[in-house]
Amino acid sequence: MFDYIIYTDGGYSTSDNVGAGAYIILSAKEGALVKQDSFVLHNETSQRAELKAILAALDAIPEGCNVQVITDYLYAASGLGRLPKRKNQPDSDLLVLYRKLRKEKHLRIEFKWVRSHFGDSWNELCDGLCTEALAQTI
C-alpha cells in the first residue's frame, strides 16, 4: 500500500533552450491532491527536467513513505534506483542525488510508466503544468 502517488513530467522548448518540470503529489488513500508545482530550468533537457521533478516531489514528502512515481519517461520508470553506477552515465549527477535522497529519507519507491497523452488525467494535468511553465518564459 502506498502513502503517496506522484506524477511527474518534463518539457523542453528548443527555440528558447529552456526546460520545465512539474509534479503532482496525491494522497494514495483519498486520491486527493496534496501538492503540485512546476519550475523552469535554463539550458536543461526535458529528461533532466523530469528527473529534477522526481527529486523535487520526493523531497516534498515525509520521511519513511511508500511512494509510487508515475511518469511517461521510460528511463525513469524502468528502474531509476537499479541503474548501474557508471561514471560516464548520462545525468549521473541527478542519479547520485536520487540515491542519496531515497536513502536519507528512507523512502520505498516504485516506478510506473504511462504512455504520454493517452488519457491519464493526472499525467495530462502534469503535462499542462509543464506547458504553462514553458509558456511563461516566452
Alpha helices (runs of H) in the chain, residue ranges in sequence order:
46-59, 74-77, 92-104, 121-135
Give Cβ neighbours of residue 102 (< 8 Å, ≥ 6 apart).
58, 81, 109
Q: What is the pLDDT of residue 74?
A: 83
Q: Give me the pLDDT at residue 79, please.
A: 59
pTM for the model: 0.91
Fold of 4-135: Nucleotidyltransferase; domain 5 (3.30.420)
What is the predicted pLDDT for the residue at 38? Answer: 96
Task: Give me the pLDDT at residue 75, please.
Answer: 78
The residues spanned by each domain of the chain are 4-135
Q: State the chain's maximal CA–CA distance in angstroms.
A: 43
Task: Report d(CA 121, CA 26) in Å as an integer.
Answer: 13
Give the pLDDT means over successive 10-residue stretches in the chain (138 positions). 95 88 95 95 89 96 96 78 61 86 95 84 93 85
